């Protein structure tokens, strides 16, 4: 999933508009050739990508916000007594134009951006924040919401009642109950935060680029395959350093190249550069921004009646409280640290035997771990890749979809796409009925940020007569041969993961857009995705995916067993760097309003020490100055959510295994009790309905090899 704040999510849902409201549409001042001026005439109202140009964005957003505010004003000023229909349902129907343009624009800012789009994004951020606040802080509107909320007992139980509660909570959490002076301050804080977080992201992009490591000789790239050497050579040439080699830093995670670089000095340079991101005292330094953002968030939480930002955030998550998160993280920390220490001892033993006199350092970890992995499991990642060719992998993915859910995906070549690499599939149910569209944008390219995510172009909603249009985005390198792409097994599981988000969007059958599909708390949203990862290991799926692209041979059972066994290798390190980042996030966002922090580095060190995870050999996955998830991203006091969701996924998958594995019966239950429901029920209730009991973290510990 794309990290996205509840507020943005709510805005997106609030502005999710009705497909055609002629009276409103004619109010528009947009020229007729503007591709957003009318609802898309294409199948499922999917965006007309072939007609969209950068010059359309600003005028469309301006007009979209103007129209949306006019509609909201009309709802607030309605002379009739407030009712569910004329207030809550009306809000759900307002803002069609703004939704249409937002859904496309905010996808492209991630998957197909350019300097023009980035500039527009920076210009829009504070305007959209202010727009949102104007709605939350409209006293007449809130009075109506409050009246409907007070009378909610008269509504039929189910979606309508839940929708009212969600709206009411959102208004209150966004300051509707504050006095005008406090509301003014809140507005100011939100606008400032919007600009500061945008600046953080710009700095991170710029410094990551500036920190690329250049080496003079090919010898220093020992361990790279030919393709990687050529890429480094080309990158240096493009940067005006012909004859040298450039290793670009990856954004925003740890550096994958560290596992293949045999030259210790090069490794150290790459590692140091990656740790230095936005912490060098240059124009791209993020330390001052971190302090300012943390302080403003704490102040905002205080205004809204919470002790800390973490308390404010967690109140509206599945976890329910910062204390519940702290308890879960603390309960797992000792096992994780012990596992990582054991791994360090193994790596040191390998060094003693193979590089006598070398003391394991942080920049050695990935490379030595790779040598140990190769020795122990005796397979080469690159050899495994040759068995996972893209078309076969998609065949296995679609086989899973068919087996679990009875659905079929048929490729459509007649719909416009935003890049030639993007593919479109129409999804049909077992009854032959069309469900929606699935876009696959799987290949890496410039203009796409790193990582993998899912999003909607159109949200499913019965009220708005909309069927879902979802997209999966990944960064798979095209490397095998012309027309042939092979995937690492990690990429295969990521593909299944994102598809899990995809079916969460596709199978949604709710009435209101606010409650649709993946509009669930972020500590629940990774549950369906991680649940689907495990099916990549299903024997029937592997039969279909694991076929050598050159000779057509099936992957030998022995190699399958090795890949499976290797899955928990290195989980001590991975879990520790993850949990350290999650604890760091919680520390920053557990500051009471008015707390004075002056030194980012010192705060970070002390926080990690206090949590028992400070260890130079395994730094947190993200340090404060490049922790994009929690500063610009929507994951503040929320990075723990991946682990929380994974606990749900591991436990639910274990339940499936107890009941026959990948079967239509298990699929039907998961679809009915979880995937179809969006946010129409409490997350814990959905989980428990499927599992038949409350959450137990034993399956998670087993999944990660920690038990
Ligand atoms: Zn995900």
Cα(578) to centroid(ligand 1), Å: 15
Q: How far is the CA of 526 from the centre of ligand 1 (A)?
A: 5
Tell me: do 224 and 156 sit in the same domain: no
Site of tokens 């919007």 = 194
Residues 233 and 160 reside in one and the same domain: no
Please indicate, yes or no, if residue 403 is contained in any of the structural domains: yes
Residue 594 CA to ligand 1 center (angstroms) comes to 35
Structural element, H or E, at residue 643: helix 641-658
Q: What is the whole-number distance in angstroms between the Cα of residue 505 and the centre of ligand 1?
A: 12
Q: Which helix (H) or strand (E) holds 237?
A: helix 226-238
CA 611 vs CA 35, 329, 605, 705: distances in Å: 52, 9, 10, 22
pLDDT at position 449, please? Answer: 85
Same domain, 217 and 157: no
What's the rounded Cα separation, in Å, for the pair 688 and 701? 19
**What average pLDDT is seen over the chain?**
93
Query: What number of residues does the chain have?
Result: 707
Using one digit for the tens of pLDDT, what is the confidence trace for 392-450? 999 999 999 999 999 999 999 999 999 999 999 999 999 999 999 999 999 998 889 88
Rounded distance from Cα 642 to ligand 1 centre (Å): 8
* Phi-psi category of residue 482: left, alpha or beta, with phi > 0 → left and psi -120 to 50 → alpha: beta
Q: Tell me, rounded to whole angstroms, the distance of Cα 572 from its chain centroid.
A: 23
pLDDT at 506: 98
Edge-first strand order for the sheet with 469-476 is 408-412, 423-428, 434-443, 469-476, 453-458
Answer yes or no: is pLDDT of 14 > 70: no
Looking at 242, 275, 308, the residue that finishes a domain is 275
- 2 Cα–ligand 1 center, Å: 8
% of the chain with per-residue pLDDT over 70: 96
**Per-residue pLDDT tens over the stretch 578-619:** 999 999 999 999 999 999 999 999 999 999 999 999 999 999
Q: Ligand 1 centre and the CA of 573: distance in Å?
A: 20
| Residue 536, domain member (yes or no) | yes
3-state SS class at 579: helix
Identify whether 94 is part of a domain.
yes
Pair (465, 538) in one structural domain: yes
Q: How far is the CA of 582 from the centre of ligand 1 (A)?
A: 16
The pLDDT assigned to 191 comes to 87
| Domain of 528, in residue numbers | 385-415+424-568
Confidence of residue 567 (pLDDT cuts 50, 70, 90): confident
CB within 8 Å of 585: residues ≥ 6 apart: 627, 629, 630, 635, 636, 637, 638, 639, 640
The predicted pLDDT at position 216 comes to 97
262 contacts 254 by C-beta, under 8 angstroms: no
- Tens-digit pLDDT profile for residues 648-683: 999 999 999 999 999 999 999 999 999 999 999 999
**pLDDT band for position 19 (50/70/90)?**
very low
Q: How far is the CA of 288 from the CAs of 157, 199, 536, 580, in angstroms?
A: 49, 11, 44, 22
Pairing between β-strand 434-443 and β-strand 469-476 as defined by DSSP bridges: parallel
Q: What are phi and psi of 318, to 5 degrees?
A: -60, -40
pLDDT tens digit string along 270-307? 999 999 999 999 999 999 999 999 999 999 999 999 99
C-alpha 670 to ligand 1 mean position (Å): 17
Q: How far is the CA of 498 from the centre of ligand 1 (A)?
A: 6
CA 669, 670, 676, 678 dihedral sign is positive
Peptide bond into 217 cis (omega under 30): no
Cα gap 587→57, rounded to integer Å? 38
Residue 507 and residue 399 share a domain: yes
Among 630, 644, 627, 654, smallest CA distance to 683 is for: 644
- Asked whether residue 169 falls in the same domain as residue 237, the answer is no
* Nearest Cα to Cα of residue 156 among 84, 261, 58: 84
Q: How far is the CA of 394 from the centre of ligand 1 (A)?
A: 18
Domain presence at residue 200: no
Burial of 117 (0-12, 13-18, 19+ CB in 10 A): middle
pLDDT in tens, 341-383: 999 999 999 999 999 999 999 999 999 999 998 898 888 888 8
Q: How many separate domains does the chain show?
A: 3
> How far, in Å, from the CA of 453 to the mean position of ligand 1?
6
**Domain-located, residue 98:** yes
Assess whether 84 and 156 both reside in one domain: yes
Task: Answer whether residue 333 is part of any domain.
Answer: no
Judge if 395 and 531 occupy the same domain. Answer: yes
Give, in order, the Cα–Cα distances in Å from 520 to each of 12, 435, 442, 468, 525.
13, 21, 25, 16, 6
CA-CA distance, 197 to 191, in Å (whole number)?
10
Same domain, 122 and 49: yes
Residue 130, burial from CB neighbour count under 10 angstroms (0-12, 13-18, 19+): middle
Token digits for 227? 């393709």
322-354 helix and 365-377 helix, angle to the nearest 10 degrees: 70
394 and 541, same domain (yes or no): yes
* pLDDT, position 326: 94
CA of 282 to the centre of ligand 1 (A): 34
The yes-or-no verdict on residue 26 having pLDDT over 50 is no
The answer as to whether 535 is a domain residue is yes
Domain boundary among 568, 599, 620: 568
In a domain? residue 196: no
Tell me the torsion sign for CA atoms 694, 700, 701, 702: positive
pLDDT tens, residue by residue, 217-272: 999 999 998 888 998 999 999 999 999 999 998 766 678 899 999 999 999 999 99
Same domain for 20 and 148: yes
The string of DSSP codes covering 280-307 is SSSTT--HHHHHHHHHHHHHHHHHTT-S
Q: How confident is the model at residue 20 (pLDDT cuts 50, 70, 90)?
A: very low
Using CA atoms in the order 212, 372, 357, 216, what is the torsion angle rounded to 10 degrees?
-30
User: Averaged over 459-485, what is the pLDDT?
Assistant: 91
CA of 140 to the centre of ligand 1 (A): 38
| pLDDT, tens digit (0-9, with 9 covering 90-100), for 506-565 | 999 999 999 999 999 999 999 999 999 999 999 999 999 999 999 999 999 999 998 888
- Check which CATH number belongs to the domain holding 118 and give it: 1.10.1370.40
Encoding tokens for residue 431?
């009854």
Please identify every residue annotated as catalytic.
Answer: 498
So what's the pLDDT on residue 250?
A: 78
Do 147 and 266 belong together in one domain? Answer: no
Distance from residue 111's CA to the centre of ligand 1 (Å): 16
């Amino acid at each position: 999933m794309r990290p996205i704040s509840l507020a943005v999510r709510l805005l997106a849902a609030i502005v999710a508009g009705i497909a055609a409201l002629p009276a409103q549409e004619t109010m528009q001042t947009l020229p007729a050739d503007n591709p957003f001026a009318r609802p898309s005439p294409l199948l499922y109202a999917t965006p007309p990508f072939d007609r969209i140009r950068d010059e359309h964005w600003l005028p469309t957003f301006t007009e979209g916000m103007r129209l949306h505010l006019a509609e909201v004003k009309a709802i607030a000023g309605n002379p009739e007594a407030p009712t569910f229909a004329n207030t809550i349902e009306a809000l759900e129907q307002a803002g069609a134009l703004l939704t249409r343009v937002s859904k496309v624009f905010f996808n492209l800012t991630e998957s197909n951006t350019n300097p023009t789009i980035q500039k527009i994004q920076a210009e829009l951020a504070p305007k959209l924040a202010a727009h949102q606040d104007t709605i939350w802080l409209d006293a007449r509107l809130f009075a109506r919401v409050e009246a409907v909320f007070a009378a909610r007992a008269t509504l039929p139980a189910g979606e309508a009642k839940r929708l009212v509660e969600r709206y009411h909570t959102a208004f209150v959490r966004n300051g509707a109950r504050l006095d005008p002076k406090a509301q003014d301050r809140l507005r100011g804080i939100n606008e400032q935060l919007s600009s500061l977080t945008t600046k953080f992201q710009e700095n991170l992009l710029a410094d990551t680029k500036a920190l690329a490591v250049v080496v003079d000789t090919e010898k220093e790239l020992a361990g790279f395959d030919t393709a990687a050497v050529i890429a480094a050579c080309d990158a240096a040439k493009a940067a005006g350093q012909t004859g040298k080699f450039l290793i670009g830093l990856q954004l925003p995670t740890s550096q994958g190249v560290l596992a293949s670089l045999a030259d210790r000095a090069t490794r150290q340079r790459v590692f140091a550069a990656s740790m230095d991101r936005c912490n060098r005292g240059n124009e791209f330094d993020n330390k001052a921004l971190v302090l300012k953002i943390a302080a403003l968030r704490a102040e905002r939480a205080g205004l809204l009646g919470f002790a800390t930002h973490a308390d404010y955030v967690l109140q509206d998550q599945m976890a329910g409280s910062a204390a519940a998160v702290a308890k879960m993280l603390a309960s797992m920390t000792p096992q994780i640290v012990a596992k990582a220490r054991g791994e360090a001892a193994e790596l040191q033993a390998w060094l003693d035997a193979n590089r006598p006199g070398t003391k394991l350092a942080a920049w050695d970890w990935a490379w030595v771990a790779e040598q140990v992995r190769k020795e122990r499991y005796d397979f080469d990642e690159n050899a495994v890749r040759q068995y996972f060719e893209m078309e076969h992998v998609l065949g296995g993915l679609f086989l899973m979809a068919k087996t679990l859910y009875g659905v079929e995906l048929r490729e459509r070549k007649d719909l416009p796409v935003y890049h030639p690499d993007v593919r479109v599939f129409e999804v049909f149910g077992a009854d032959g009925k069309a469900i929606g569209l699935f876009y696959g944008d799987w290949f890496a390219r410039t203009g796409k940020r790193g990582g993998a995510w899912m999003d909607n172009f159109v949200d499913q909603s019965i009220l708005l007569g909309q069927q879902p249009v979802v997209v999966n985005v990944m960064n798979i390198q095209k490397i095998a041969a012309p027309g042939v792409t092979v995937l690492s097994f990690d990429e295969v599981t990521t593909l299944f993961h994102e598809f899990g988000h995809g079916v969460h969007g596709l199978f949604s059958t709710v009435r209101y857009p606010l409650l649709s599909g993946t509009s669930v708390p972020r500590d629940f949203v990774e549950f369906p995705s991680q649940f689907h990862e495990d099916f990549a290991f299903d024997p029937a799926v592997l039969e279909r995916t694991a076929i050598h692209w050159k000779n057509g041979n099936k992957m030998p059972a022995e190699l399958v067993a090795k890949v499976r066994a290797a899955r928990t290798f290195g989980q001590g390190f991975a879990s520790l760097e993850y949990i350290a980042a999650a604890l760091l996030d919680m520390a920053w966002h557990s500051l009471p309003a008015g707390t004075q922090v002056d030194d980012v580095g010192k705060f970070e060190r002390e926080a990690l020490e206090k949590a028992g995870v400070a260890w130079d050999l395994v730094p947190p996955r993200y340090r404060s100055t490049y922790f994009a998830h929690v500063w610009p991203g929507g994951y503040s006091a929320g990075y723990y959510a991946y682990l929380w969701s994974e606990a749900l996924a591991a436990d639910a998958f274990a339940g499936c295994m107890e009941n026959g594995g990948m079967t239509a019966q298990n699929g039907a239950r998961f679809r009915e009790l979880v995937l179809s429901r969006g946010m129409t029920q409490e997350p814990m209730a959905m989980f428990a309905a499927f599992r038949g009991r409350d959450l137990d973290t034993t399956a998670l510990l087993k999944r990660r090899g920690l038990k």
